[in-house]
Amino acid sequence: MQLVNLEKNGSGPFLKPLGNGTGNQAFQVVGFPAQVAFSLMSMGNMSPKFEENEGEAKRNRQSLFGLIGLNSQQQIWLLPEHKTKLLGVSQEQSGTTQRCEGVLTQSPSLPLTILPADAFPVIVTDSGGSFLLLFNGSIWSADCGVVRSVIEQTQFAVVHSIEPKMMKVLVGPGICPYCYVSKVHGQFRRKGSWKPCVTKDDHIDLGRFLVNDLIQEGIPEEQIYSVDFCTGHSRSEAGESLFPSDLRSRRTGEKDGRFAIIASL
């Protein structure tokens, strides 16, 4: 499997640091047909579930939206259920929260948001940016066949019936196999479908599983780009964790939180 490293690849998409003068707070993906940005730990927690002061997460999300010039009031916020449900959304759903695994839109400037907890956000579009799909790639949704389900549904839903070979995909950031140590692993490691994605030291490579499924669905490998950061261990030049991580906080006892990733046509 050959994945494009966004940091090192010279011809494909790359990551542009964003900040407000006090340092790097987020990254924007440049050279991808959809607008994509994700926050870093330095921008603070983005989830109301983990906030210390009321409204803190909302303000942090507003700052992230401000950095990329989008309106946070319009965001459609995806709350995953770790299954395979895909919902089509338009401006009418603007400002709502949707309980599902993925959201699909053809509306321009409609920001789709997810707050990942070590699972992989997956963003799918085509070179003309005629549709945008954001879905949650967790171990549970991946095991349910989320990739096949949402890619198939997208083909039927998009008016001009898009083919997988025309799709471009961005995967991550998510947890690397080294950091992915979890109680739920046993039940998946023993399954045949996960075997190719279990490392020598018995850890699950969730990113690889998702990419393998995307390739299986007919999306050319060279059109799949992965963000080469791990939510568990990637650090800034100053040695600070780049992302909040659910698994790391359980291991170390540090405060949990969420970062945000936004995608828009």
Q: Given the rule CB under 5 A, which residues bind Zn ion?
A: 176, 178-179, 230, 232-233
* 231, two tokens: 């939510």
C-beta of 36: minimal distance to Zn ion in Å?
Answer: 21
Tell me which residue has tokens 């083919």: 163
Residue type, 189: R
Q: Which is nearer to Zn ion, 110 or 198 (CB)?
A: 198
C-beta of 232: minimal distance to Zn ion in Å?
Answer: 4
Q: Which is nearer to Zn ion, 109 or 178 (CB)?
A: 178
Q: Three-state secondary structure along 18-30?
A: EECCCCEEEEEEE
C-beta of 231: minimal distance to Zn ion in Å?
Answer: 7
Dihedral of alpha carbons 11, 17, 18, 21, sign? negative
C-beta of 138: minimal distance to Zn ion in Å?
Answer: 16
Q: Which is nearer to Zn ion, 82 or 233 (CB)?
A: 233
Q: Which is nearer to Zn ion, 8 or 156 (CB)?
A: 8
Q: Which is nearer to Zn ion, 80 or 207 (CB)?
A: 207
In the chain, count H helices and then E strands. Answer: 6, 14
Tell me which residue has tokens 């780049």: 242
C-beta of 180: minimal distance to Zn ion in Å?
Answer: 7
Q: Which is nearer to Zn ion, 77 or 180 (CB)?
A: 180
Give the separation between CA 107 and CA 200, rounded to whole angstroms.
Answer: 44
* 114, two tokens: 């997810």
C-beta of 172: minimal distance to Zn ion in Å?
Answer: 11
Give the three-state DSSP class for 182: coil
Give the separation between CA 152 and CA 204, rounded to whole angstroms.
Answer: 25
* 176, two tokens: 């690397």
* 70, two tokens: 């989008």
Q: Which is nearer to Zn ion, 59 or 178 (CB)?
A: 178
Note whether 135 and 122 are within 8 A (CB).
yes
Query: In sequence order, which ranges of the chain are alpha helices (DSSP H)?
Result: 56-68, 139-143, 146-157, 185-189, 206-216, 246-252
C-beta of 189: minimal distance to Zn ion in Å?
Answer: 18
